[in-house]
Structures are given as C-alpha cells and as structure tokens.
Structure 1
Amino acid sequence: MKSFRADYVFPVYADPVKNGIVTVDDAGKIISVTDSNNPPPDGGPIEQLSGIITPGFINAHCHTELSHLKDKIKTGGGLVSFIKDIQTVRGADQQLVNDAIEKADNDMYDNGIVAVGDISNTNHSIPVKTKSKLYYHTFVETFGFLPQNAEDVFNKAINVLNEFKPLPVSITPHAPYSVSKELFKLIRKHSEIGHNLISIHNQECEDENKFYRYKLGGFLDLYKHFGIDIEYFKPQARNSMQSIIPLLTNKQKVLLVHNTCTNLKDIYFIKRFDRKINWCFCPKANLYIEGKLPKIELFVDQGFNITLGTDSLASNDKLCLLSEMRTIQQKFPAISTARLIQWGTLNGAEFLGIDDEKGSLEAGKTPGLNLITGLDGFKITPESKVRRLI
C-alpha cells in the first residue's frame, strides 16, 4: 500500500480534508481517505506533499484523431473559417496521424487525465485506444445535412462503430448545422434500443443561431464552399439548440459541447423538455476559434451536470484539464476551484457512466490521484501544475 499526505485532499463527493491522507493499494484502489489525526491503519510510510490531491481528471470532449493538426490552423478566424481549414489540412501521412494520436494519449496521461470522451470520424484511433492506460468512450460522429444522404451516412457510421467494438462506443450527431432532420431521426431510433451516449457540438458561434433563425450568416458561405445545396432548408425562427432538442432521444444522456452562444432563454427552454442534458465547456478552444467564452456563470446552479473538455490540438496548445480550469477561473473568479474540480472529475465520470470506478476518492474506487501545486490558497494561478501520483 501507498499513502500520500497533502495540505488538502479533495474527495469531491465530500468536503476537502485538511492535512488529508489518501491510502491506495498496489492496483491504485482507494483504501481510505483520512486526516493526520486518523492515520491509515497499516502504519506504513506516508509521502509528504505540498498542494492538493484530487481524483484523476475526466476529459469529456476531445478529438485525438486531429492531433496532427497542432499549430496548423490560425487562431481567431471564427468557426466557419476553422471548419474550412480543417477540411483543407486534415489529410496527412497515416503514420504521422497515428504517431500524433499516440503522443496525445501519452500527454493526457501525463496531465492527470484518466478517461476521455473522444470524437472520431474514422477508425484511426483504435490501435492506441486498445492498448491505452486511459478509459475511452468513442463517439462516432455523423455529418450529413442533405436529407437524401441520411441513410447512407448512418450506415457508414454503424460500420465504424462496429470496428471500435468491444471498446465503449456510440453514434452521435456532429452539430445542428451539419446533420439533417432525417439523420437526427435515424440516430434517435438507434438510441431508443440500446446504450448510445450522445455528444453534440452546440452553438459555437452566432452564425449558427443566425442560420437557424433567419437562414443568414456565414454558414451560407460554408455550404456554398462545400457545394451543398440547402434550398430545402427553411429558417426555424429560433436558435439552433431549441430547434434540435426535440429531435434528440430522451433515453440517453446528451452532452452539449462548447455552448459559446447559448443564452438564458436556451437554458430555460431545455428545462421544459424531458431530455438528459449535460453541458461541456472547452474554454481554450473557444478562445482559439472564436476569441470569446461562453457565459458560464449562467449555467451554474441550474440543476444540470457540467463537465470539462479540451477539444482537439487543432484548437488548443495542450490537452490539459487544469489549463481549462485556469482559463475559466481567470474570467469567472467566483467559480471556485472545488467546483471546477468536480466538473473535471466526478461530473465527467457520471456522464460517461464510469462513476462507480472514477471521479471521486471513495474507498473501493480506482480514480487515479493527481497533485495540484502552485495554488494561491485554493485559487489556480499561472504557476499551478498537475502531477499524476498514480
């Protein structure tokens, strides 16, 4: 057994423990969480640490198969430009792609991440995921805004999904502006009969809402750029999220990712529907692409599960949840470190359905242990770092 003592231990499911001691067995299973007045019963050596101990992080939204695009796409160009650039530079030597996925996997491990909700359009990440120390749930992402292509797109997604099995995997829509109503319905039908988590990009820019409300804005140029005839599409007179929520299943948990332009009316709209909605924020990617952050304070204490993600290295300089927490706290200082840690651990584990093993420091779990140093009290600073303990 190993024991670690730190200034504070954050079990997440309970209040922080001052001068806390975490004891684990050789497999990383939590034996106990105590304080210095109640040392572990085995009486073995205790490693003394400065900082706070937390569970391993859960990266609820990533695209490891885009890892070879690091530093390839300019910042601040907006989502429409970003999508065009991705399609232009995405193609690369397969070995380069594979090596970048493996490096991303190793980097996330080193950054204290223990589980990942990973978006995939191909089977490229299977070899890495099969041997990884991390838990992955793969979301096979569908694109198809033309109604007549819905069945073909869905069947291709089923083929990719079958390649990933028996790894945890599901089929998901990409975004409101890239999935037709017909394709949404096929995914919903598939989700009614088995376990099929959903993770959908939501309201990343104002143009997405403009397109759905008025059929105006930058997405018209995007469809023209890709030669997609959207004559059939009629403006919905409401935001994109409000338009697609009725098309989503109420049988599965749904993760709405980014939410850069989601407003309070949208949040209240969701409350009127019987949907298992979770939110995910990837603030560094939002700044990279759009130069703006979601109004995260609007989502706090609304009764929803909030998680954190890194997005991809095409839109970020590192895959590190502590960096995402720092970015949020710099803009929203009222959001406490304890709350951010819950978003980045237990909440992500609950969405992925692995909270029986990960997400909190409870006896019997194997959540991993992180040490966060360089804090100012409990505030995350530019000097704060994370180190994996187990």
Structure 2
Amino acid sequence: MKSFIADYVYPVYADPIKNGIVTVDDDGKIVSVSDSQGVDLQQTKPERLSGVIVPGFVNTHCHTELSHLKDKIAPGGGLISFIQDVQNFRNIDKQAVIDAAQKADEEMRENGIVAVGDISNSNFTIDIKNKSNLYYHTFIEIFGFLPERAEELFEKAVALAEEFKPLSSSVTPHAPYSVSKELFKLIKRYSDSGTNLISIHNQECEDENKFYRYKLGGFIDMYKHFGINIDYFRPQARNSIQSVIPLLTNRQKILMVHNTCTNLKDIYFIKRFDRKINWCFCPNANLYIEKRLPKVELFINQGLNITLGTDSLASNGQLCILSEMRTLQQNIPSLSFDTLLQWGTINGARFLDIDNTKGTIEAGKTPGLNLITGLDGGKITPETKVRRLV
C-alpha cells in the first residue's frame, strides 16, 4: 500500500480535508481517506506533498483519431472551414493516425485523465484502447445528411460498434447539420431497444442555427463543396437543438457537446422535454475554432449535469482537463475550483456510468489520484499544474 498526505484532499463528494491523507493499494484502489490527525504517520509513512489531491479527471469529449492533425489547421477560421480542413487532411497513412492516437493516449494519462468519451469513425484505435490504462467509451459517430443513405450508414456504424466489443461503445449522431431526420430515427429506434449512450456536437457556430431557422448561412456553401444536394431540406424556423430534440431518445443519457451558441431559450426548451440531457464544454477548442466561448453562465445553477472535454488535437494544443478548467476560470472568475472540479471528475463519471469506480476519492473506488499545485487562494493560475500520482 501507498499513502499520500497533502495540504488538502478533495474527495469531491464531501468537503475538502485539510492535511488529508489517502491510502491506496497496489491496484490503485482507495483503502482510506481522512484527515491526518490520529493517524500513526510512523507506521503509514505517507509521501508528503505540497498542494491538493483530487480524483483523476474524466474527459467526456475527445477525438483521438484526429491527433495526427495537431498544428495542421490554422486557428480562428470558424467551424465550416475547420470541417473542410479536417476532411482534406483526414485520409492519410493509417499507421500515422495510430501512432498519433497512441501518443494522445499517453498524454492524457500523464495529464491525470483516467476516463475518456472518445469519438471514432474507424477501427484504428481499438488496439490502443484495449491496452490502455485509461477507461474508454467509444462513440461510433454517424454522418449522413442524405435520407436515401440512412439505412446503409446506420448498418455500417452498428457493425463498427461490434468490432469494438467488449470495450464500451455506442452509436451516435455527429451533429444536427450532418444527420438526416431518417438517420436520427434509426438511431432513436436502436437507442430505445438497449443501452446506447449518445454524444452529439451542438450549436458550435451561429451558422448552424441560421441553417435550421432559415436555410441560410455558410452550411449551404459547405454542402456544395462536398457535392451534397440538400434541396429536400426545409428550414424549421427554430434553432438546431430545438429541431432535433424530439428526434432523440428519452431512454438514454445524451451529451450535448460544445454549445457555443446555445441560448437560454434553448435551455428552457429542452427542460420541457423528457430527455436525459448532459452538457459538455470544450472551451479551448471553442476558442481555437470560433474564437469565442459558450455562455457558460446561463448553465450554472440550473440543476444541469455539466462535464468537460478537450476535443481533439486538431483544435487544441493539449489534451488536459486542467487546462480547460483554467480557461473557464480565467474567463469566468466567479467559477469556483470546487465547481470546476466537479465538472471535470464526478459529473463526467456519472454521464459515462462509471461513477461506481471513478470521479470521487472514496474507499473501494479506483478513481486515480492527481496532485494539483500552484493554486492561489483556491483559484487556478497560469502556474497551476497537475501531476498524476496513481
């Protein structure tokens, strides 16, 4: 067994423990967590640390398959340009994709991430995930805005999900603007019949809402660029999220990712529906692509399950949940470290259905342990760093 004593231990499910001590066994399972008063330190011989101990981070949105695109796409070009660039760079040597994804897996582990909700469009990462120390849930992502291709694309996605077994996986729509109503219905029927977590990119730019409201904006040119005829599509006179919510299952948890242009009316609209909606913010990617952040303040104190993600190295300089927390705190000073920590740990674990083992420091769990240093009065600073302990 190994013990650590730090200035504070943040169990997350309970108040921080001053001069807390955590003991783990050789498998990383928490044996005990308490304050150090009354503990025989001569017997336990804990490693003394300056900083705070927190659970391992949960990254609910990543694309390890796109790790080979790091530094390939110029920042600030907007979502539509970003999508086109990703497609242009996507088809390169398979081994290069795998090698970059392997490095991404190692980077996340070193940055204290213990679990990942990862988007996949191929089987390239299966071997990496089988061998990884991280927990992965793979979202098999479906693109297809042409109604006539819905059945074909859905069947391919289900077949790919089978390849990932026994790893945890599910079939999911990419985004409102890239999935036809027919394909949404197939995914809903599939989700209603068994366990199938959903993760959908949501309102990453204003043009997404323009397209759904008026059939105007940059997506029209994007479809032309890809040679897709969208004459059949009729504007819905409401934002994209309001248009697709009725097409989503009410039997599975759903993660809305990015939410850069989600407004209060959208949030209230969703609350009227019987849907298990969770929310994921990837602030560094939002700044990289659109040079703006979501209106995070609108989501606070609404009783919503909020999680954090890194997106991909195509849209981020690093895969680090602490970095996402730092960006949010720098831009929204009122956010507390405790709140951000909940978003980056237990909330993600709850969404991924792994909160029985991850997300909090409790006896019997294997959440991983991180040491956070460089906090200033409970605030994340440019000097704040994470070091994986377990």
TM-score in terms of structure 2 length: 0.99
Q: Show the 5 A alignment for 1:8-157.
A: 8-39=8-39, 43-157=43-157
Q: CA deviation at 1:171?
A: 0.1
Confirm or deny: 8 A CA contact 1:61 1:116 kept in the other structure: yes
Q: What is the CA distance between 1:342 and its match in structure 2?
A: 0.6
1 CA distance for matches of 2:248 and 2:359? 27
1:2 is displaced (CA, Å) by 1.1
Counterpart of 1:176 in structure 2 is: 176
User: Aligned partner of 1:31: which letter?
Assistant: V
Question: Which residue number in structure 1 is paired with residue 257 of structure 2?
Answer: 257
In the TM superposition, residue 41 of structure 1 has moved relative to its aligned partner by 8.9
**Alpha-carbon distance between aligned partners in 2 of 1:263 and 1:365, rounded to the nearest angstrom:** 37
Query: Aligned pair 1:293/2:293, yes or no?
Result: yes
Q: Deviations over 1:81-138 (max 9, x none)?
A: 0000001111211111111010000000000000000000000100100100000000
- CA RMSD between the two structures: 0.9
- In the TM superposition, what whole-angstrom CA distance separates every residue of 1:293-350 from its partner, at most 9, and x where no partner exists? 0011110111110000000000000000000000000000111011101100000000
Structure 1 position 286, deviation (Å) = 0.2
| Cα distance in structure 2, aligned partners of 1:302 and 1:350 | 17
Q: Residues of 2 paired with 1:73 and 1:17: CA distance? A: 44
Distance, in Å, in 1 between the alignment partners of 2:305 and 2:239 is 22
Q: Secondary structure at the match of 2:43?
A: coil
Decide whether the 8 Å contact of 1:140 with 1:160 is kept in 2. yes
Q: How far 1:42 sits from its partner (Å)?
A: 9.0
Query: Which residue in the other structure is 2:196 paired with?
Result: 196
Q: Percent identity?
A: 73
Bigger mean CA deviation after superposition, 36-45 or 276-285:
36-45
- Distance in 1, matches of 2:120 and 2:149, equals 20
Counterpart residue identity of residue 12, structure 1: V
CA separation in 1, counterparts of 2:286 and 2:389? 30
> Corresponding residue for 1:161?
161
Alpha-carbon distance in 1 for matches of 2:129, 2:242: 35
- Alignment gaps of 5+ in structure 2: none
| 8 A Cα contact 1:34 1:40, kept in partner | no
The answer (yes or no) to whether the contact 1:150–1:183 under 8 Å persists in 2 is yes
2:255 maps to amino acid: L
Structure 2 residue identity aligned to 1:368: G
Q: Which amino acid aligns with 1:362?
A: E
More displaced stretch, 34-43 vs 87-96:
34-43
**Equivalence for 2:207:** 207
How far apart are 1:186 and its partner, in Å?
Answer: 0.2
- The C-alpha deviation readout for 1:128-159, integer Å capped at 9, x for no partner, is 00100000000000000011110011011011
**Residue equivalent to 1:276:** 276
List per-residue Cα deviations over 1:181-204 (Å, max 9, x = no partner): 000000000001111000000000
Q: Which amino acid aligns with 2:353?
A: G
Secondary structure of residue in 2 paired with 1:188: helix
The DSSP-based 3-state class of the residue aligned with 2:227 is coil
Aligned residues between the structures: 390
Give the structure-1-normalised TM-score.
0.99
